[in-house]
Amino acid sequence: MCAAEALVEIHRGPFLESQHMGHAVICDSTGGIIEAWGDPETIVLPRSSAKMIQALPLVMSGAAKAFGIRQDRLALACASHQGAPLHVQAVNTWLADLGLGDGDLICGTEASRDKELRFQMIRDGETPCRVHNNCSGKHSGFLTLTKHLGAGADYVDPCHPVQMSVRDAFEDVTQMESPGFGIDGCSAPNFATTMHGMARAMAYFASAGQRNDTMSNAAGQLVEAMMAFPELVAGETRACTHLMRAAQEPLAIKTGAEGYFVAILPKRGIGISLKIADGATRASNCAIAAILVRLGVLDAANPEVKRFLNPPVKNWDGLVTGEIRPVAGLTGAA
C-alpha cells in the first residue's frame, strides 16, 4: 500500500503514542469520488464487508424467493454474527428448512464470539460447531443458492457456479475487473478491488432505489434487511449493530477483517469504503464513526457513537490512561 494517511490516534496522557494509517473513499450515486483519504486506487481485499455483494446472487437468481427467504435471513446472509444463541438458532433453523445440517457448511468450526455462550459451552463440555462461525449465515445463503441451482456440494470452490456468480456480481457493482482473490477465513474466495471500486459498489447499493432492474432490486432488498435487523448483522457490543441503531438517517454498515469497513447511505445515494493499513479493528471502528459524524449521519455526543469514536484506554487496574480518537478534522469539527 502507498500514500496511506493518518486516520486514528492513540493518546496516553499528554502524549501521542501511536497512529493508525489508512485509506477511505466516499462516492456519490454516479460512482464519482466526493472525498478521499490516502490512495483510492489501492488494491484491497474487502473481506467480510463484501458480504452483501456475495449475497446478491441469492436474490437475483430467484433462490431467495423460491425458498421463502425472509428479510431476517437476508440480513444473516450479509452478517458477521456473534455466534450468540439468537444467531445459532436462526442458522440452525435455516439449515433444517433446507433439509441440511451443520456438516453441510464449509465455513469451518469457530468458538462462539458471544462470551456468555462460549463460557457456558466450556462449562458444559460442549464443542463449537460450524453454525457458531461468524460466517455461517453467509454460507447458509450459499447453500440455498447451491440447492436452487442443483450444483455440487463444494460451493466455495472458485469454479463453482455459486462463486462464479458472486464474482460476476462483484465486478458489476465495483465496475471493474477483479485482479484476483484470496481465500477468506471461512474458505470462500474473497475478490479484490480498489478502494474506489468498493466505494462505487456501496454507492450502487445506496442508490438501488433509483433504478428498476434485477440487480438493483436485489441490492435494495439486502440493504433493507440489514437496516431492519442490525442485531443479526453483527451483535451486541459490535460497532455495526450499535452504529446502525444510533444513526440519524437510514444506514447500513458492515465491518470486515483486517481493518475494513463499508457504509451505505440510501437517503443520499452515498457509499463509503475504509481500510486501516495495519488491520486494527479499534481503528476501523473509530474511523468509520468519525466519517459518519463528518457527514451528519451520527451524533458524536451519542453514547453509542462515543464508545467507538472516542473509547478510553484503560490499564489493568481500570484507570483511564488515554483514549482512541480520530485525527483532527476527520469528523469535520474545527
Give the pLDDT band (50/70/90) at residue 333: low
Q: What is the end-to-end Cα distance of the chain in Å, rounded?
A: 29
Q: How far apart are CA 133 and CA 293, in angstroms?
A: 32
In a 3-state reduction of DSSP, which class is residue 142?
helix
Q: Which residues of 202-213 are buried (b: 16+ CB within 10 A; e: fewer)?
A: bbbbbbbeeeee
| Tens-place pLDDT, residues 26-68 | 999 999 999 999 999 999 999 999 999 999 999 999 999 999 9
Say if residues 156 and 163 touch (Cβ distance below 8 Å). yes
Task: State the pTM of this model.
Answer: 0.96
| Tens-place pLDDT, residues 126-171 | 999 999 999 999 999 999 999 999 999 999 999 999 999 999 999 9
Q: How far apart are CA 215 and CA 204, in angstroms?
A: 10
